[in-house]
Structure 1
Amino acid sequence: MSSFDILTILGPTASGKTEFACHLAYALDAEIISGDSRQVYKSMDIGTGKDLADYVVNGKNIPYHLIDVREAGEKYNIFEYQHDFHEAYSDIKNRKKLPILCGGSGLYIESVLRGYSLVNVPENKELRKKYQDYTLEELTAILATYKTLHNTTDVDTAQRAIRAIEIEEYKKEYPLEQNEFPPLNSLVIGVNIDRELRRQKITNRLKSRLDEGMIEEIKNILEKGIHPDDLIYYGLEYKYVTLFLLDKLSYEEMFSQLEIAIHQFAKRQMTWFRGMEKRGTKIEWIDASLPMPEKVEKVIKRINGG
């Protein structure tokens, strides 16, 4: 692994990337750093797909980092992730182990691989309330009035546009605390899953997670005093199941809308990964349907220069 700082395994939801990364970690005596923006939260296990059973391979516990490091209800951001990632990364490297970054949150992964320089801007509740009813088009027009725009390629929702305005307003008044981390030389492996197979796996997995107690998990979080809006903020499972528990959706509406939302999320993940390639990140794609030993062997051969 002398030519790479880190190994990265990425892919859309339901592609099997976590199980694959864990088998690689077993073969390489490596440790996993999660690249998932929601698995950082405690108690949010089934809905975020932590699949902690995957981290036991042939009876061996695979060490993992950046899972269960924040309380449910907190707001975790990319600035914090970048800092936490480098703490874990340095710890692993100092112990002469190989770090494997694994996840599907493209912005988080790209921020550490490319060494994004980020600003730590606190939440402005008054500004968010002011713009909460604006459309994305209106917010984009407001953003265009600033000389420099933050993260213009990622402003695809009203929430992100408001965050961009929040950052620009903050920059007017306060000196910025910069995150300065170097880019990393990573072998990046993408898990490529057939679209129809992915859709089937998403549907089957959603049914399984509901059977495994996802609704009860989210109900328990709410009963601990977490405000519903704070769970809805996390999106996908936490949004739609919370709306169901609040009697704003029927079970059938919840399932149908959530299923569609997860399919759309997977498409956005793939769009982001393709964008990473256009921005200069080389991703070597591997077929998700290959037998696990064959996938592991291919990556190990590639690491060794094959």
Structure 2
Amino acid sequence: MSTDKKLIVLLGPTASGKTALAVEIACALDGEIISADSRQIYRRLDIGTGKDLKEYGFIPYHLIDSHEIGEAFSVAHFQKAAFDAINDVITRGKQPILCGGTGLYIESLLANYQFSHVPHFLSEPLDIQFSHVVFGLNPSTDERREKITKRLQARLQEGMLEEVQQLLVDGVHPEELRWLGLEYKWMINYIEGHISKDEFEKGLETAIHQFAKRQMTYFRKMERAGIEINWIPDTLDFQAKRDFILNFI
């Protein structure tokens, strides 16, 4: 699709403040947000996946709460769904903003992944040619660890465990949740009595720190593969980070 609208991409590790910043940019540019998060597509996983839907305010968002737990959703599914959402946003004259931390999903769009077999839901391979600019958030290791710890404690207080317990009561199979990885694997192990509460909280916190580190490793790999990421200086305050993006554009 030919357009003068550049796709704005905002990526970063977990707890780096992507959503709040994406919402600010969307407010400034009459934009809509397309989520690049592999688990926020699933309904009823609100606290555990950190959807923070209240942060969006009146800003429209896409690829959140679009599937039921257990429904198939691969990189190919994401690529098609995001491709359609971005085209839809552009067609309506709005600014598309892709925001998330799932590097593989983001790369599948920006690098126009081609699969060995055309997915069954496509008649022919996608040809993705969006003009784009990528921004990255990369808090210092100490700040990242502090934010992760604080956010995990907040989610536990908000009822993250209770949310999962209710899903089990509603008939969601434990393995469907364990398959989602990270928080869900640890929560199921705790709920089923395989680990103590202390093991659960300390182990999960460590696992999230390790996950954030892997996210950054993937983003660096994307850079080496030729995707330019404009890293926003972490020394800037929130408003200055917003201005950094707007001035760059």
TM-score by length of 2: 0.94
| Higher alpha-carbon deviation: 221-230 or 177-186 | 177-186
The CA RMSD measured in Å over matched residues stands at: 1.7
Of the candidates 134, 138, 159, which is equivalent to residue 188 of structure 1?
Answer: 134
Look up the match of 1:89: 86
2:5–2:90 contact (8 Å) kept in structure 1: no
| Match runs of 1:1-306 below 5 Å | 5-56=6-57, 61-118=58-115, 119=117, 179-303=125-249
Counterparts of 2:166 and 2:243 in 1: how far apart (Å)?
A: 42
Deviation of residue 86 (structure 1)? 1.2
The answer to whether the 8 Å contact 1:222/1:228 transfers is yes
Q: Secondary structure at the match of 1:287?
A: coil
Q: Whose radius of gyration is greater, 1 or 2?
A: 1
Paired residue secondary structure (2:32):
strand
Deviations 1:32-91 (A, max 9, x none): 0001000000000111111112112xxxx1110000000123232111111111111111
**1:245 is aligned with what amino acid?**
I
- Give the counterpart letter for 1:285 in structure 2: W
Q: Distance in 2 between matches of 1:240 and 1:29?
A: 39
Gaps of 5+ in 1: 123-175
For 2:124 and 2:209, the matched residues in 1 are separated by 35
* Whole-angstrom distance in 1 between the partners of 2:44 and 2:171: 13
Asked if 2 retains the 8 angstrom alpha-carbon contact of 1:110 and 1:276, the reply is yes
Distance (Å, rounded) in 2 between the aligned partners of 1:121 and 1:301: 39
| Residue 289 of structure 1, CA deviation | 4.8
Distance of 2:124 and 2:199 partners within structure 1: 44
The whole-number CA distance in structure 1 between the counterparts of 2:13 and 2:206 is 15
Q: Secondary structure at the match of 1:192?
A: coil
Find the aligned partners of 2:235 and 2:155 in 1 and give their Cα distance. 22
Give SS of 1:219's match.
helix
Equivalent pair of 2:14/2:212 in contact (CA under 8 Å): yes
Contact 2:178 2:188 survives alignment (8 Å): yes
Is 1:114–1:183's contact at 8 Å kept on the other side of the alignment?
Answer: no
Q: Which ranges in structure 2 are unaligned for 5 or more consecutive residues?
A: none
Query: C-alpha separation between the residues in 2 aligned to 1:121 and 1:91?
Result: 21
- 1:280 partner SS: coil
Spell out, residue by residue over 1:209-264, the C-alpha distance to the aligned partner (whole angstroms, 9 max, x if none).
00000001111111111111110000111110111111111111111111111011
**TM-score, with length taken from structure 1:** 0.77
Amino acid at match of 1:9: L
Give me the identity figure in percent.
47
CA drift at 1:178: 5.4
1:193·1:288 contact (CA, 8 Å) conserved in 2?
Answer: yes
